[in-house]
């Protein structure tokens, strides 16, 4: 960061007041408030506090809630970086030149990790249902639906587009990823009481936090090698959600996913995250985005 950049940030902080002085805190508050306020009627209806809610309304409100992080990202980018920062964030939506290997990892590697994590669970192979061909026929449509309405489009501009670069700069790549992973997981918690997810159980909630944190470490590694591309993280998010829900669960039905909950995915992602931490010595490719991005377009700028 140059002296001019610092002066500009100081000027924006003076104009933006409290929000500009605490951009990360403000971002997470906005992301949580937007999502939780939208989800609150669904949760209250599911718990019997409010009258039952029509399924079509639930189908609108839950996807809408996923855009909380995007709202937070654009508000805080505008406050801290102005119109130029907003344009830069939008350009990262379509930043597709990241190298073929990363597309292979998110489209093939992530599903493979989920499968490997599943088959090591005792009894998993015995439940295998040979319906892969049928599942794959509908996979492209399920992937697109997940991409636009299942979280990736609404969440990733915030989690990876805004928060991750700042957390990495402040706390380092590993601790920054762990902080983001925990906050990302906790942000989802109202869904356990919404009737959309399985009812809350302490074991599943703990596994969910660990699994999401491990996934965040994996996504940080990809993000840092993909020059800060928001597009690549959206696609990776969609790949995980679609394959786990639409392919892995039907291929390995109860009791693997029903009784063990998130254990298969937890095993795969945690094992992968540990390997990445060891191999990269906790750096997770941090700095690769800076080296690969032209001057003046640093995706890790604040």
Q: Are 124 and 256 in contact (CB under 8 A)?
A: yes
- pLDDT of residue 44 exceeding 70, the answer is yes
Distance CA 206, CA 203 (A): 5
For residue 160, what pLDDT is reported?
A: 98
Lowest mean pLDDT among 68-77, 86-95, 266-275, 284-293: 284-293
Q: Which residue has the higher pLDDT, 8 or 57?
A: 57
Is the pLDDT assigned to residue 202 strictly greater than 70?
yes
> What span, in angstroms and rounded, lies between the C-alpha atoms of 6 and 2?
6
User: What are the b/e assignments for 277-294, b being 16+ CB within 10 Å?
Assistant: beebeebbbbebbbebbe
Say if CB 114 and CB 214 are below 8 A apart.
Answer: no
pTM above 0.85, yes or no: yes
pLDDT higher than threshold 50 for residue 259: no
CB of 208 closer than 8 Å to CB of 188: yes
pLDDT at 296 (0 to 100): 37
Domain boundaries, the chain: 3-292
Look at phi and psi of residue 172 and say left if phi exceeds 0, alpha if psi is from -120 to 50, else beta. left
pLDDT (0 to 100) of residue 300? 44
Helices 173-187 and 23-46, axial angle in degrees (round to 10): 30
Mean confidence (pLDDT) of the chain? 89
């Amino acid at each position: 960061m140059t002296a001019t950049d610092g002066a500009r940030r100081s000027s924006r902080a003076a104009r933006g007041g409290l929000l500009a002085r605490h951009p990360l805190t403000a971002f997470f508050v906005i992301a949580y408030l937007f999502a939780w306020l939208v989800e609150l009627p669904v949760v209250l209806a599911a718990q019997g506090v409010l009258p039952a809610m029509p399924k079509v309304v639930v189908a609108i409100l839950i996807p809408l809630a996923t855009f909380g992080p995007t709202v937070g990202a654009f508000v805080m980018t505008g406050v801290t970086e102005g119109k130029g920062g907003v344009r830069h964030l939008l350009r990262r939506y379509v930043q597709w030149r990241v190298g073929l290997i990363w597309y292979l990892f998110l489209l093939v590697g992530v599903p493979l990790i989920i499968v490997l994590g599943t088959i090591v669970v005792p009894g998993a192979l015995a439940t295998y249902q040979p319906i892969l061909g049928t599942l794959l026929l509908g996979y492209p449509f399920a992937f697109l639906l997940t991409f636009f309405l299942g979280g990736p489009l609404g969440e990733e501009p915030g989690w990876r587009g805004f928060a991750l670069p700042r957390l990495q700069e402040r706390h380092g790549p590993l601790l920054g990823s762990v902080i983001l992973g925990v906050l990302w997981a906790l942000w989802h918690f109202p869904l356990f009481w919404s009737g959309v997810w399985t009812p809350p159980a302490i074991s599943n909630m703990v596994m969910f936090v660990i699994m999401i944190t491990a996934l965040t470490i994996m996504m940080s590694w990809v993000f840092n090698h993909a020059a800060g591309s928001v597009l690549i993280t959206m696609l990776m998010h969609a790949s995980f959600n679609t394959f786990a829900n639409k392919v892995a669960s039907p291929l390995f039905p109860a009791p693997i996913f029903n009784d063990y909950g998130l254990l298969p995915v937890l095993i795969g992602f945690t094992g992968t995250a540990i390997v990445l931490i060891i191999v990269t010595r906790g750096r997770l490719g941090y700095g690769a985005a800076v080296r690969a991005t032209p001057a003046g377009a640093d995706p890790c700028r604040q």
